[in-house]
Chain A
Amino acid sequence: MALQSGETLAMLVGNIWSKPRSRYWTLLGLRLLAFLAAAAATLVMALNKQTKTFVVGTIGTTPLKLTLTAKFQHTPAFVFFVIANGLVCMHNLVMIMVDLVGSKFDYKGLRFPMVAILDMLNVALVSGGANAAAFMAELGKNGNSHARWDKICDKFGAYCDRGGGALIASFLALASCFSFLSSPYLNLSTRRPIVLFLTTIINPKPQTIFISMDCSNISHCICLVFQMYVLLLLL
């Protein structure tokens, strides 16, 4: 598509306050929904624990009891689910802050592609976590007769229900993350007048958007933020 300059298009991708007000609030609301859903999924799965006592036999008159606990740490897929949703939750929180107060600081245009790339990472993380946990939960619910793996949901019903709730929340977070990842692309794939309108309103004022922040060493700040984020991701 023929736009006047490459910078305006990048701003459209990574930056949401140069869009019309209703779209700004829609995208912010979607990010808030993703943050809350991911937080709910993390908390519900992380606190998922059920202890149950089974009677396995009797010696004379005293019954033999066996206490079994179902915890989320027993399954690596659920551990990955908790970690992935925790990271997604923190990422969405950081992005909400960036969208609300980010207009005061600017890293000379590096922030816009970083936001876009990190959003893609976000979606991949939450997609991987949610799907792995979904198939593990299906295995726990139905078992696998060919491999002789018994289902556990009939014994640990509350554990399964809570896990299912966390999964629903995580899929909701996935849906909203994917929608605001792809919302700039939906607008740009048609030559509707709204695109030209947006570019004309952005174009005459590039200097107001590239405000240099008062940091003694800008590249140092960028490296620090990126390192923090990478550390968070590798947690």
Chain B
Amino acid sequence: MAESKRIFTFLLRFIAFCTTLSAAIIMASSREKTTVLALSVEAKYSDTPAFKYFVIVNAIVSIYGFLILFLPSKSQLWRLVVALDAVFTMLLTSSISAALAIAYVGKEGNPNAGWLPICDQVRKYCNQVKGALIVGFISLILYILLFLYSVHKALNPLLLEKS
């Protein structure tokens, strides 16, 4: 039972590492160059600080996830993992909400501020950003599950284990 739990959490951490890495890579490789009205328009992820923040946070979390995979299960550092999981989950929530806010403006525009949507002109870029956000959401859900699991393992908040 303990062995299967260990394998399951290892697998979950591996999948979470893969999703954060792919979210960072998909967002970083989104680039499109089109011509609109005889003007060449290039859309990159680095035009917007929100997308840059998303890439940076996902890169940091994927490095953390990669290092955690090599932690031996009997080590004392698992208590530190609880705290680090909390910090990195909060970072992921903030990055995804920021990227979503800017992506919404890019897709629907903001007529009150005179901001036109840009998704019609750079469709491939928009779709790639959408894909990166979806993968980012999946990684966020996985990290929330991992955080709740590490809290449950280190403390016993739901009183499920008999002492």
Residues of A whose CB lies within 8 Å of any CB of B are: 1, 3-7, 9-10, 13-14, 70-71, 74-77, 80, 109, 112-113, 116-117, 123-124, 127-136, 138-140, 144, 146-150, 152, 178, 181-182, 184-186, 188-189
Contact = CB atoms under 8 A, between A and B. Distances in A.
B113 A149 contact: yes
A7 B159 contact: yes
A215 B96 CA distance: 43
Contacts of B157: 10, 13-14, 112-113, 116-117
What DSSP secondary structure best describes chain B's contact surface?
helix
Given A7-B163, A128-B94, A178-B90, A76 B101 contact: yes
B155 A10 contact: yes
Contact of B98 (A74, A135, A148): A135
Interface residues of B, number: 45
A184 to B, nearest CB: 8
Contacts of A152: 113
A81 to B, nearest CB: 9
7 contacts: A7-B163, A10-B156, A10-B158, A139-B50, A146-B42, A178-B90, A189-B80
Contacts of A186: 83
Contacts of A182: 83, 86
Nearest to B44: A146
B47 interface: yes
Given A113-B158, A147-B115, A185-B86, 4 more contacts: A10-B155, A75-B113, A124-B93, A131-B97
B138 interface: no
Contacts of A7: 159, 163
B116 interface: yes
A140 B104 CA distance: 14
B112 interface: yes
A135 B102 CA distance: 7
B47 A13 contact: no
A109 B49 CA distance: 45
A189 B83 contact: yes
Contact of B159 (A10, A133, A138, A144): A10
A74 B161 contact: no
A132 B48 CA distance: 13
Nearest to A77: B101
Contacts of A188: 79, 155
Contacts of A76: 101, 104
Most buried by A among B80, B114, B157, B161: B157
Contacts of B145: none
A146 B47 contact: yes
Given A128-B97, A135-B50, A152-B113, A147 B106 contact: yes
